[in-house]
Amino acid sequence: MTRKDKILVTGATGHYGYAVIESLIENGVNESSIYALARDHTKVEKLKSLNVNIAFGDYNNYGSMLKVFSGIDKLLFVSSDELENRSEQHIQVVNAAVKSGIKDILYTSQEHKEVNFSLIESIISSHLATENAIKGSGINYTILRNGLYMDILPSFLGKNIFKYGIYLPAGNGKIGFALRSEMAETAAKILISTGHKNKTYSVSGDSYSFSEIAEYISQITGKNITYLSPGLDAFLNTVIDQGMSKKCAKMIGGFAAATRQGELESNGLQMEKLLGRKPLTVKQYLEETFICNFLSSAG
Ligand SMILES: NC(=O)c1ccc[n+]([C@@H]2O[C@H](COP(=O)([O-])OP(=O)(O)OC[C@H]3O[C@@H](n4cnc5c(N)ncnc54)[C@H](OP(=O)(O)O)[C@@H]3O)[C@@H](O)[C@H]2O)c1
């Protein structure tokens, strides 16, 4: 990037976008070159403290995107969290980027393997539609296929792990997790360096099975943590009966079942190279953060 490049980060009121902006600043980018996209005027207090430019727009509003993209050189397009009409929303964003003359676009996609029938089809299809729109747009692109946030691993393990063990329909499949903050740092490093034109990267840590995770937690806590893997339907019936919302059960069950058929397995080599160090491993995460929190909340 040149010193004068203006970088716009979307989803800046969210966890990932905000962390990318913090990392850009830590890596020496002048605040005046950074533009943060928000859609809600009541959510920008924290962003204001970073002294970056704040722009307002909504992916659903093409005109607002055209306005905020004007004069921007590089766009970090953070995927929306609204699954229903995500492809349509995203394609509007890409069209506005083309019309505004944006030179480079980075997009946060999802790590996955191609399979005949994906168990996370509703998530992957909109990412692929967006990737294809970007690739066909003529804009220089970098696709970041992010693995799962390690930050959501506790939701997979459940609150009652010490009582019932791990209960997930993931079989012996492996899943690649990385800390969201390290994925954000990776994106910031790509934004400020060269050599990423028209590349697709896996931004994910090494992969682990839930039996390995159960074993780590057993070692760390000295408690015997079991791992039981039911079929997807049995999982959904059980956890919904126990009070988990249908939406949450379907999300966790879908990701776990996709893990079972190898859709989410990855290795951390590409992320390590881009980040410039080995990302935090699941084992370290369990040792350093999760177990302490868990033990204190479990009393
Ligand atoms: N890899 C993973 O494990 C994983 C897990 C969860 C989600 N994701 C994906 O990664 C994205 C970023 O993660 P995150 O943790 O930062 O999510 P987050 O904290 O929920 O942030 C999502 C951001 O997107 C913004 N946004 C949503 N819809 C928008 C729209 N129509 N127009 C403009 N902005 C919109 C939100 O704005 P508001 O603050 O106004 O809502 C927020 O700033 C998510 O949106 C989702 O697509 C990945």
How far, in Å, is the centroid of ligand 1 from the Cα of 81? Answer: 5
pLDDT in tens, 168-194: 999 999 999 999 999 999 999 999 999
Same fold, 7-146 and 147-178+203-266+277-299: no
Kindly report the protein residue whose alpha carbon is nearest to atom 29 of ligand 1: 80
pLDDT of residue 150: 96
pLDDT in tens, 32-69: 999 999 999 999 999 999 999 999 999 999 999 999 99
At residue 240, does pLDDT exceed 90? Answer: yes
pLDDT above 90 as % of the chain: 89
pLDDT in tens, 282-294: 999 999 865 665 5
Q: Which of 81, 94, 130, 153 to mutate to test the pocket of ligand 1 (most atoms within 8 A of CB)?
A: 81
At residue 270, does pLDDT exceed 50? Answer: yes
202 lines ligand 1 (CB under 6 A): no
> In this structure, is the dihedral angle defined by the CA atoms of residues 96, 101, 102 and 107, taken in order, positive or negative?
positive
149 lines ligand 1 (CB under 6 A): yes
pLDDT of residue 4: 77
pTM of the shown model: 0.95
How far, in Å, is the centroid of ligand 1 from the Cα of 78? Answer: 7
The residue extents of the domains of the chain are 7-146, 147-178+203-266+277-299
| Contact yes or no for 228/165 (Cβ under 8 A) | yes
pLDDT of residue 117: 86
42 lines ligand 1 (CB under 6 A): no
CA of 183, closest atom in ligand 1: 1
Mean pLDDT computed over 184-210? 97
59 lines ligand 1 (CB under 6 A): yes
Distance, CA of 180 to CA of 132 (rounded, Å): 25
Distance, CA of 106 to CA of 139 (rounded, Å): 10
Q: Which of 41, 54, 78, 110 to mutate to test the pocket of ligand 1 (most atoms within 8 A of CB)?
A: 78
Q: Any idea which fold 7-146 has?
A: Rossmann fold (3.40.50)
At residue 272, does pLDDT exceed 70? Answer: yes
How far, in Å, is the centroid of ligand 1 from the Cα of 16? Answer: 8
How far, in Å, is the centroid of ligand 1 from the Cα of 110? Answer: 13
Kindly report the protein residue whose alpha carbon is nearest to atom 2 of ligand 1: 148
133 lines ligand 1 (CB under 6 A): no
What CATH number does the domain located at 147-178+203-266+277-299 have? Answer: 3.90.25.10
pLDDT of residue 1: 58
CA of 180, closest atom in ligand 1: 15
How far, in Å, is the centroid of ligand 1 from the Cα of 141? Answer: 20
How far, in Å, is the centroid of ligand 1 from the Cα of 104? Answer: 21
Kindly report the protein residue whose alpha carbon is nearest to atom 10 of ligand 1: 79
88 lines ligand 1 (CB under 6 A): no
CA of 13, closest atom in ligand 1: 43
pLDDT of residue 296: 57
pLDDT in tens, 87-145: 999 999 999 999 999 999 999 999 999 888 888 998 999 999 999 999 999 999 999 99
